[in-house]
Amino acid sequence: MEDTGTGFKELVGLLEESADDGRSRLVLEAAERHLNPAGTVHGGVLASLVDMAMGDAVRSLTGDSDVPATSQLTVTYLRPGGPGRLEVTAKVRKQGEHLTVCEADVEQEGRALVHALATFAVLHR
Sequential DSSP letters for 78-124? -S---SEEEEEEEEEEEE-SSEEEEEEEEEETTEEEEEEEEEEEEEE
Q: Which helix (H) or strand (E) holds 9?
A: helix 7-12
pLDDT of 45: 97
pLDDT of 3: 47
Dihedral angle over CA of 43, 48, 51, 57, nearest 10: -120
Residues in the chain, how many?
125
How far apart CA 18 and CA 38 sit, in angstroms, is: 31
pLDDT of 1: 40
pLDDT of 18: 94
Residues of the chain scoring pLDDT < 70? 1-6
Task: Set out the domains of the chain in order of their start, with CATH numbers.
Answer: 7-124 (3.10.129.10)
pLDDT of 41: 98
